[in-house]
Structure 1
């Protein structure tokens, strides 16, 4: 059976298109349900021009979210409860929509809130594949960092009490994307690099995986080429445009394939040590010559070209119990390992081998 996957319904791209957001959202507001919930990275809270450009109406709810740590199910539940309380006070059932403005973590929070407003229980109950039963409220993405592909993916990556695992569902997919390259222009250099490497690495994993097909290859090759232009060549006026499209194409590539070893292992690092996703992928990828020799060699050239010092010794102080937990979390992600290593992946990536890889980091 071929997967009949869902994509984002509407996309607007171009420098300055953020100014159209108010008009786009107007079509979703009604007299009975006019409220929009803006989920915005709190980095824009202090003296940032974006704060003044938010198209807030009197009835809208603004949630400044902190993503110093990667999104946790507990935080999603807290934010969802805050929105529900506000709706109850206004004698409304649901908001008209949820708008995520920020990087991958902020967009993941917006996805998760939109899902949990219509589904009972804790977000931890839905970590897995196709567990969501009721469609989310309308939700839109406005990326201010590019690379994760969160704006196009069917996953909202969350750390729960027992595991780091996404809510993977067709209902997770955004209804609208607003892709304005001007919004990513002021991203800190290292953050821009590591987020971009998330895209580069998942393209390498997709293009070398056993799930590869013409659909994922077409998107993945273009995304990879754009990453190579951005991170190996001289900066140009349209570098941000290219990086934003690399993120979109990279996300589309894995929609019909999968990621691989680096992503699986980075989940373990994040769950135990709180290492952010882009940095975690980069740390892991640097030790995966055996699986991705050409990609790792090119990645190291990107590190040198961009003047990035990769963190070292991140697991040096980790206990045996912590390493075992990393291994357990990583090994939960069966589709990633099968894509990377084939159906007999468990004979190739043994617990002992995985434990040794983590120890080397």
Structure 2
């Protein structure tokens, strides 16, 4: 048996107020007058409570990342080209936001040193050179993007990550203060990405003691936050941030499953955001994860969350085939969920019937 030797995040700082140490964290990584580039979620534009705390030095630049739609390879390539034209080289890229902003930071950091288009690197272990220094600072918790070895992108023909040992951040800053003002629905959808990570990892064929230890803790934290707590407080923020970290670690040595594989098709065709897409799918797949889906529905009811319905109504056969093609391209996810004979189990007809439920 050959065991995976996987790359983890280099440095982690955790704690309420730890964002205030960003200047000293970045200082040793600066290369001459090459700037640090801060990718910030566009929802923080004109909100100095956060942006006013970014430690700008010299030619440093803040770029507000539009996450109305999930990251596209064309967006990554354009930002790389603009930064190269303006500065030549940069000292590093810091992503401040949710999973999409952190994925953009990872992707552009890689493309500053690798030739071609980011679409060329959608897949597993295609990136050959380390990117520039990169830091992840989540303002939403749940995706696990802060610790994952992928940055999920929508390309010309598919939605797939740049999965490589060069993708993880060099540094992450986990400050629970940064997630406290997230909108209720968005916080729930993103947190459920973590919950679904755990269910898919813990019930997958790739499960092992490493992934189980992280997955069980993350699941326990999600259950405490969304089932047993009656009010959202600082304690919930802190636990959700750690659930996101542990949930991301749980799939680092295993994999996700049916909900993620199917939601990628929705995202590619309809532009459905990752967190809400996972919720839309998970709500309907009790046949695969009966206990997890029943518990998920309890969380939805307790927190009075609306799960969109009928989003695939009226789609053409060509539309359904596009989603099916994207989903079936996620072979490791299906194998984790259903085993090595997953192709016999998940036929195009069965997957079409699934998509028709959403």
Establish whether residue 296 from structure 1 lines up as the match of residue 327 from structure 2: no
Q: Summarize deviations over 1:171-210 as a string: whole Å, max 9, x none.
A: 0000000000000000011000000000000110000000
Q: Which residue of 2 aligns with 1:5?
A: 6
Q: Which residue of 2 aligns with 1:155?
A: 150
Q: Which residue of 2 aligns with 1:353?
A: 350
Q: Summarize deviations over 1:82-135 as a string: whole Å, max 9, x none.
A: 1101113xxxxx211110000000000000000000000000010000000110
Q: Which residue of 2 aligns with 1:75?
A: 75
Q: Which residue of 2 aligns with 1:270?
A: 267
State how far apart, in whole Å, the 2-side matches of 1:42 and 1:176 are. Answer: 22
Establish whether residue 108 from structure 1 lines up as the match of residue 103 from structure 2: yes
Quote the RMSD (CA, aligned, Å): 0.8
5+ residue gaps in structure 1? 89-93
Alignment of 1:246-285 (within 5 A): 246-285=243-282
Give the deviation of 1:64 after TM superposition. Answer: 1.0
Establish whether residue 24 from structure 1 lines up as the match of residue 19 from structure 2: no
Residue from 80, 94, 112 that aligns with 1:99:
94
State how far apart, in whole Å, the 1-side matches of 2:251 and 2:137 are. Answer: 20
Q: Which residue of 2 aligns with 1:238?
A: 235
Kept in 1: contact 2:180–2:234 (CA 8 A): no
Give the deviation of 1:46 after TM superposition. Answer: 2.1
Q: Which residue of 2 aligns with 1:91?
A: none
Alignment of 1:197-212 (within 5 A): 197-212=192-207
Kept in 1: contact 2:34–2:87 (CA 8 A): no
Establish whether residue 59 from structure 1 lines up as the match of residue 59 from structure 2: yes
Kept in 1: contact 2:202–2:215 (CA 8 A): yes
Give the deviation of 1:58 after TM superposition. Answer: 2.5
Q: Which residue of 1 aligns with 2:133?
A: 138
Q: Which residue of 2 aligns with 1:228?
A: 223
Give the deviation of 1:360 after TM superposition. Answer: 1.1
Give the deviation of 1:48 after TM superposition. Answer: 4.4
Aligned to 1:360, the other structure's residue is in SS state coil
Is the deviation greater in 324-333 or in 45-54?
A: 45-54
Establish whether residue 186 from structure 1 lines up as the match of residue 181 from structure 2: yes
Instruction: Give the TM-score, by structure 1 length.
Output: 0.97
Q: How many residues align?
A: 355
State how far apart, in whole Å, the 2-side matches of 1:228 and 1:34 are. Answer: 45
Residue from 209, 214, 219 that aligns with 1:214:
209
Establish whether residue 173 from structure 1 lines up as the match of residue 174 from structure 2: no
